Homo-oligomer: A and B are copies of this chain.
Amino acid sequence: MSCWIRRGRVERDERQLPVDRDTVETTDMNYYEQNRQTFLEGLQTFLRIPSISTLSEHKPDIRRAAEFVRNELSAAGLVHAELIEGEGNPLVYAEWTGAPGKPTLLLYGHYDVQPPDPLDEWKSPPFEPTVRGNDIFARGSSDDKGQTYILVKAVEGLLKTKGRLPVNVKFLIEGEEETGGEHIEAYVSSRPARLKSDAAVICDTEMFAPELPTICVGLRGIVYAELHVEGANHDLHSGIYGGAAPNPMQAMAEILTALKDRNGHIQIPGFYDRVVPPSAKEREAWARLPFDEAEYTHKEMGAKELVGEPEIPLLERLWARPTLEVHGIRGGFTGEGAKTVIPARAMAKISTRLVADQRPDESAAQLKEAIRRATPKGVTAELKLIHSAAPSLVNPDNPFVRAAADAMTEVFGKQTVYIRSGGSIPIVGCFDQCLGIPSVMLGFGLPDDNLHAPNEKFHLPNFYRGIEAVAHYLETLGR
């Protein structure tokens, strides 16, 4: 679940793939340049595995993807490469700890992907990775197989060219990120000694604008749930019973409308109480980011106009305000033609994104209570929690964050910017709470990568350059 929001103009021709070689002194750039075709072929193999974690029929593909990552890490020269089996999808672990006295990094990514539907909107099949121009199109190409593979290949390059790493690393790659990642959290909390590190590096985010090095220092949390509404215990004829029968879809509409007003203000008592507004400094920095609202609205989002709390600036709405969204809704007859039925039940998938210092458990309870109050006569409504994650904020003055910013600035030749994300990476909160370490979020996705949507892509220059940037970051830290 890549998390970015950012945007801006592409100001130079990326096909040139400029690398400021002067600033990258230590890493053996020849190795990375010579092996691009091999990196691409490896990524394609990874992308062909439909490792959709939200659909149980893909369990075998999940395993294949986990084994692929384990084998890659082992071949890269890491040790103790293994699948960690538990209740959920396997975790992949591997380490290299031959640099005593140097920092230890916990490298995180995920090998699971979102479902590809609606299938008919893909220009090439989602699990047949297809290169068009400088992009590779496939489900998971940007979120997060491409970025996970950057970490693997960066470490592999250092080990192959130098025989050692400048720092210690522990890889922990999961297969349930798109379903909430509860099992990795259980594992992390139970194995703090094995996972002991100085910082986590997460490669699952985006650049704010093309070629603008970006570090994410804030994430929204999430509470994702199913709302089930039931009226009568069987479907009823709308002529015979209409005027007396409870309609669960109308009731669903009434509940959803009661929870959020037309200006995007969530109408759940107490919901905003813990929301911490961004500092004046942060707001000023956000206002300076290169951002073309018209292009964002019409081209990137493909929308007519933006919605949401009108009194709050856009980036703050996306990064520092909670939301409530419907993801899907189903009920009654939606086939061809007409069926005059009042159905017995309806279901909606909903979530709320949370910001610091909201707490998932408390927010879920507030949501549940608000639904109870909003439920009209004649129906029952039940909220089934699917997953949740706490919001998180990282201190940008942390030395691992600063070093990452410096390395990115060197490789990309531009000042690294700090932003937040509207998305959720649940593991960040877990690393903070269970291991006491900050997360450094380096991202190489682009704003138009179509995450969670048809035609997801990854920009190949970012893929190649990302490998180099991570290698350079490790070298910077090792000095």
Binding site for B on A (CB under 8 A): 1-5, 53-56, 114-115, 117-118, 121, 178-180, 220, 222, 224, 231-247, 249-250, 252-254, 256-257, 260, 262, 264, 301-309, 314, 317-318, 321, 323, 325-344, 346-349, 351, 353, 376-380, 386-387, 421-424, 450-454
**Contact across chains for B328 and A331 when beta carbons are under 8 A apart:** yes
A28 to chain B, nearest CB (A): 35
Q: Which residues of B contact A335 (CB under 8 A)?
A: 54-55, 115, 117, 328
**Contact across chains for B353 and A349 when beta carbons are under 8 A apart:** no
Q: Considering residues A232, A306, A325, A331, which has the most beta carbons from chain B within 10 angstroms of its beta carbon?
A: A325
- Other-chain residue from B3, B243, B253 in contact with A257 (beta carbon distance below 8 A): B253
Q: Considering residues A241, A254, A387, which has the most beta carbons from chain B within 10 angstroms of its beta carbon?
A: A241
Instruction: Say whether chain A's binding surface is mostly helix, strand, loop, or mixed.
Output: loop
Q: Which residues of B contact A453 (CB under 8 A)?
A: 234-237, 341
**Contact across chains for B327 and A342 when beta carbons are under 8 A apart:** yes
As for how many copies of this chain the complex holds, the number is 2
Q: Which residues of B contact A376 (CB under 8 A)?
A: 262, 307
- Other-chain residue from B53, B338, B386 in contact with A349 (beta carbon distance below 8 A): B338
Question: CA separation between A478 and B210, bound complex, in Å?
Answer: 88
Q: Considering residues A220, A244, A331, A349, which has the most beta carbons from chain B within 10 angstroms of its beta carbon?
A: A244
- Other-chain residue from B239, B249, B338, B351 in contact with A329 (beta carbon distance below 8 A): B249
A328 with B336: in contact, given A222-B239, A239-B423 (CB under 8 Å)? no
A433 to chain B, nearest CB (A): 21
**Contact across chains for A307 and B378 when beta carbons are under 8 A apart:** yes
**Contact across chains for A325 and B454 when beta carbons are under 8 A apart:** no
Q: Which residues of B contact A336 (CB under 8 A)?
A: 54-56
Which chain B residue has the least Cβ–Cβ distance from A312?
Answer: B243
A154 to chain B, nearest CB (A): 25
Which chain B residue has the least Cβ–Cβ distance from A307?
Answer: B378
